[in-house]
Each structure stands twice: as structure tokens, then as C-alpha cells.
Structure 1
């Protein structure tokens, strides 16, 4: 029966008499290395009679130290027949297996690859029994106590039973991050606790990394301008608005060439910086319109909270508004002339 650090295992010692009948054969288990007996257990066994060419099995319940090194280790047994000083010692090999490789967590899949706050995603993985013996029962638990993530449709723990050596089992958890959970990469502890057919308990832990975030929602619009069909040189304000749930970083604008304007403010590039969720920033450019309908090609690049790069290309449309061009003063002059004409007419009628 395989032994594991921190477990107890039944060890059977076979005593064989290759000579004549022996009486009161004393067999003693001696604590050695990682192998010990409980202090309440007597390690001495006495065989009253052991006939020649016969064997006898002695059973010991042996404890394996938690700090035992995996590999071949040895228990020590001393034995001697009555009435002789011929005490002999034997070292018997026992294989200790690492409990950390008893079960292997593998084939982790996230659907979707990035969980959206307020949405539902799935974590799936496979557990394989690498131990040379079957597992009686066990549990797989995702520790969500420190995370704003809740299980959906079940608890955060699943059980399994009777898992044979070499067998694989698949586990799936549906999880929902809180709607206000900040984007980022989070570690979810996965605890696997199991016991073998002898009742020995084992535990191991793993971490599963999940990405929390959402695709950015960014709009680029014209915020303000003083340009008109008469005043064709001036500033244009471009607004970048972050309508998504997470911060966008390193926002940069590049204006493209167009036959409808000439850029007067130097470089075609404007660095905007970081923009929080539900916020905006602006960039100012000075240009001269060469047409009444101005088209401004713009390329905006940025990164989300997980440093995923994005790029958008669009063309801003701007129709120059018309000025009155002196029309109001002309109306005033016409009104004054009408008043003068009417006054003169009334004066002439009065004199008549």
C-alpha cells in the first residue's frame, strides 16, 4: 500500500524461519526516519512458536512524517529467538509518494476569456488522479471570500467520489463578477481536499487566474469651434469620451491629411492621456478651412485597464456655419428710410 507524507499506512512484516523450530521469537519495530508508531502502541511482538520453513505476518500501523521526502525510505525491524544473543536488524523499503502530485489540476478553460462585470462566465478544468491508488472521496472548492465574485446556479464547492488511479474528472463553475468590480487580473484559490480508501486525508491548492474587464466604449466628437464661412481660421476642440466601465490609458490622437483644411498648430499628433470611466478629455488644434464642409480624419489609440491595445479610425464632419454678413444693419437702414418717407407724406398731407 503506497504511503504519503502525513498519512498512516498498514505495514506487514513477514518473518520466515529457514531453520528448525524457533520459540518465543522477539520482533521489534524501531522508529526510523519518517516512520514511527503511536506512543501508545507497543512495537514488540513475540511469536511463541515458529516452525521451520514457515512464515508469519506481523502487522504494524505506521505513521509517516509530514516532512517525509518522496522516494524510497526504510522501516527498521530487529528480531531474535529466545535464548540467543543473535539479534539481527533488517531495513525494509517502503515507497513514499508525494501527496502534492496525487491529483493534478489541468486543462483550465475560461468562457469568455475575459469576464465582464455583471455578466456570467464559466471556469472549467480537469482533475486527474496520478496516484497509484483510488480516491475514496473529495471536494473542489473555489475560495471567493476575498473577491467580489459570486457563484451562479450552484455553490463554490463540488464533490467527487470513487476516483480510480489514472481517471480524469471535469469540473465547471459558473461565476458572476460584481457590476462594479474593477478591471484587472485576479487569482482565484482552488482547494482540493481528498481521502484515500484507508481514510488518510490530503490537501493541495492551486491558483486560477481570471481576467475581469470589458471592451472599451470610446467616442470622438467635435466639441467646439469658432470657424465660419467668413472666419475660416481658428481653433477646433476634439472631445474624447470614455463611456465604458474601465479606465482607458495613453489616449493619443493623430490627425490625417485632408484637402478641406490646413493644420496650423504644428504636429498632427495630440497626446490626451488617461481617461476615467464616464469622463472625457479634449484636444485643441488650430486649422484653416479650405472648404465649407471640412473633413478631419482622426486615428485614436489607447489601452484598456488590462493593457490591451486598441485603435479607432474615423472622420469628423464639420459644416461651417454662415455669418449674416451685414444683413442686420441693412434692415435697420430700410426701416429708418420707411419712417422718413411716411413722416414726409403725412407732413405734406397736413399742409394741403
Structure 2
């Protein structure tokens, strides 16, 4: 029994001695260093793959054991098909074998240097050494977008501000940003005023916004409508890669209809009489007025004879249309005054077919019989005399004809 214990203890001491000798030999004669030899593509791109070659170098004077490397991928890096653990075998002094990893980069990776972690050990008995290496990543596509447009409807002949909000959608800094509005097309009724059509900014941080402001005048003869304006963006990322993008910006030209309404003419009327009035509508604004209708609304002061609605149609700027309505003025319509209010409803559209309606009142003069006589608005005394003379001549002619006919017959 004692002999067996002695043999076992002796065997353990021999194994410990051999192991200690090996550790001492590797620890003192081999010195392993791991670094990145290269990676492709450079710079690496978010959402793509990158091949990384690690250089395993024995800086010591003796051979190493079986060197083991283990990649420790964390966001934004991952291994999809490659093995994390790889071995080089023993490395002689001064040798530098390369170990390659095929690594996937997440599409949401932050642009710039990202840490890739690897650990290694010179033999199976040595502790692990962890190494951090930098892999430079650029955004897969550095997008600078026009995220917001601040502008009211453009009014012909008026200067207004147009504000564009530029948003850096990428995870990298974008610099040397230039914004250009292209008004070169002859169909575009715009021009920049008090400023050039290009604005510049030194740079925009990731996920940040920056506004650029343009002063724009719309030509006085511009017609209502939606106009597409090319907006060109030019910028660079931190790797000096230049991007050119073109967007289409929609500007609306329109103005609220403006017009003047008058009574152009009307018959001289008294209470209890019937006559015709003609109203005119003049387009005094810069935009067109379309599909206008005019309705004479009911009132206790008058009755509409026949149609109470008139279609005036389209009115171009500085154009006018008229409409005639026949009406009867009721007894007591004046109520001590001298005018009768005509209640009129107008319906119409602007150049972009936006609907409008407006109620207005026009005052029509109604006269008393004494005013008509005093102002000479009715038939005058001389007019009556002429009428009487004509009647007398007609009577005399009639009597004369009958007299001579009788005389001939006898």
C-alpha cells in the first residue's frame, strides 16, 4: 500500500516538473504579438462584409506552442459563416503568419472607428491576452435629405422666403454642403432676389438638421399652378467621398381671388314698378377667377322676375363680366330711405380650383314720383306734346281718309 502511494506521488511530481519546464520554456523564449495587417475593403462599409487579416508575430528567440486566436465580435461586427477560434500551429522566432476572418458589419453601424476585439494565447497552458483593434467604417450611403419645406403659396409679383430643412440621415459627419435651386427652365416664373441661388454650409452632424433660407420673387405674370423646382445637393463625408443628389421641390403659385362689384346700370324705378338691373364683376387680382355664378337673394323689398341666378364664367386678371336681372320693387320698399339693398351671393373658384363664396350688398336707388318729375327722369312735358301732336295727326288722317272714301262712293 505504501509502495503504491509512493509511486503515485512520484509520478505526479514528474508531471508537474515537465509542465513547469514547458511553461517556463514557452514563457521565456517565445513572445507573441497580434495586430491587424490589413482589412478590405478600406474603409469598411456598414451593411457589408469586411475581410480582416491578423498578423501573429513571434518576437521571442524561441518557438511558440500552438497559438490560438478567438474573435470576440460585438456590435456592429458578427460572424455568419466563419469560425471564431483559429490556430496557427507552432510559430518559429521571427515568423508572422496571417489569420483571416470574414466579418459581417451591421447596417446600423456608426461611421468612424469601431472596436473589434480578439484574444489569443501562445499555447494551451498560457492565459488569454485580449487585444482591441480599430476598424474604420463609413456609412453605406451618406444620405442628406430635404426633410421639410417652409413656404406659403407664392403670389405673383411678391418676394417671399423659402426655407429648406436639410437633415443628415447618415451616422457620419457631412461637410462642404452646397444647396442650389435651379430656375434655369424658361417655364419657371421665379428668381432669387437679394441672394444667389446657391447656399453653402460647412457641415452637418449625424442625425442633425440645418435650415437654409432663400429670398424668391415670383414673376408678376405667373399663372396659378404647381411648379417643380430641381434642388441640387453636393456634399462630402469624412473620407472625402463626394455625393451629388437632386430632389424636386414643388412650389405653388396662387393668390386669393380679388374683385370689385358694381351696379353698371339699372332702370329708373319707383315703388311698385318693374325694371332690369345690370351688375358687373371686375377681376382686380393677379390670379384668374373661375366658374363664377351670381345669385340675387330674396328680400321683402323686391321680387325677382324670371331667373335669379346668372353664370358669369371665367374672369382673367383685369377682365370683367356683367349680368342682368329683372325685378319688381315692392310697395313700401324704401321705408323712409332712398335705396333698396340688393342681396347678392357669389360662388367661384381660384386658379387651383379652391372653392370660395361671398355674400355682398349693392344699393339701388329707387325714386319717388315727385323725384322723377323734378329730376326729369320720366317723360318730359315736351315729350307729352309731341305724343299728343302725333295722335292728333293720326286722328286727322284717319278722318280725312274716311271722308274722301265716302265722297267717292256717292
TM-score range, shorter chain: 0.5 to 0.7
Pair 1:184 & 2:225 matched: yes
Which runs of at least 4 in structure 1 moved beyond 6 Å after TM superposition?
18-21, 93-96, 330-333
List aligned pairs for 1:1-352, cutoff 5 A: 1-3=43-45, 13-16=52-55, 51-52=94-95, 55=98, 97=139, 99=141, 102-110=143-151, 113-146=152-185, 147-229=188-270, 232-266=273-307, 268-290=308-330, 291=333, 293-321=339-367, 322-323=372-373, 324=376, 327-329=380-382
Shift of 1:167: 2.8
Greater share of helix:
2
SS at match of 2:300: coil
Alpha-carbon spacing, 1:139–1:4, altered in 2? closer, same or farther (3 Å): farther
Q: Deviations over 1:140-168 (max 9, x none)?
A: 11111122211122111111224332232
Shift of 1:181: 1.5
Distance, in Å, in 2 between the alignment partners of 1:227 and 1:315 is 19
TM-score (norm 1): 0.65
Contact 1:241/1:281, CA 8 A, preserved across alignment: yes
The count of residues paired between Structure 1 and Structure 2 equals: 266
Distance, in Å, in 1 between the alignment partners of 2:197 and 2:329 is 62
SS at match of 2:157: coil
Distance, in Å, in 2 between the alignment partners of 1:173 and 1:133 is 27
Greater share of strand:
1
Contact 2:271/2:329, CA 8 A, preserved across alignment: no
Distance, in Å, in 1 between the alignment partners of 2:143 and 2:329 is 74
SS at match of 2:310: strand
Distance, in Å, in 2 between the alignment partners of 1:174 and 1:262 is 54
Alpha-carbon spacing, 1:230–1:310, altered in 2? closer, same or farther (3 Å): closer
Shift of 1:198: 2.4
Contact 1:227/1:233, CA 8 A, preserved across alignment: no
SS at match of 2:183: coil
Structure 1, gaps ≥5 residues long: 6-10, 22-48, 58-69, 73-92, 334-352
Distance, in Å, in 1 between the alignment partners of 2:275 and 2:384 is 30
Distance, in Å, in 1 between the alignment partners of 2:93 and 2:276 is 109
Alpha-carbon spacing, 1:238–1:197, altered in 2? closer, same or farther (3 Å): same
Shift of 1:294: 2.7
Higher alpha-carbon Rg: 2
Shift of 1:173: 0.8
Contact 1:217/1:242, CA 8 A, preserved across alignment: yes
Distance, in Å, in 1 between the alignment partners of 2:167 and 2:212 is 11
Contact 1:255/1:296, CA 8 A, preserved across alignment: yes
Query: What RMSD over aligned residues (CA atoms) do the two structures have, in Å?
Result: 3.5
Structure 2, gaps ≥5 residues long: 1-42, 65-91, 101-106, 110-134, 387-410
Alpha-carbon spacing, 1:240–1:231, altered in 2? closer, same or farther (3 Å): same
Distance, in Å, in 1 between the alignment partners of 2:324 and 2:384 is 38
Alpha-carbon spacing, 1:71–1:165, altered in 2? closer, same or farther (3 Å): closer
Shift of 1:220: 1.7
Contact 2:286/2:317, CA 8 A, preserved across alignment: yes
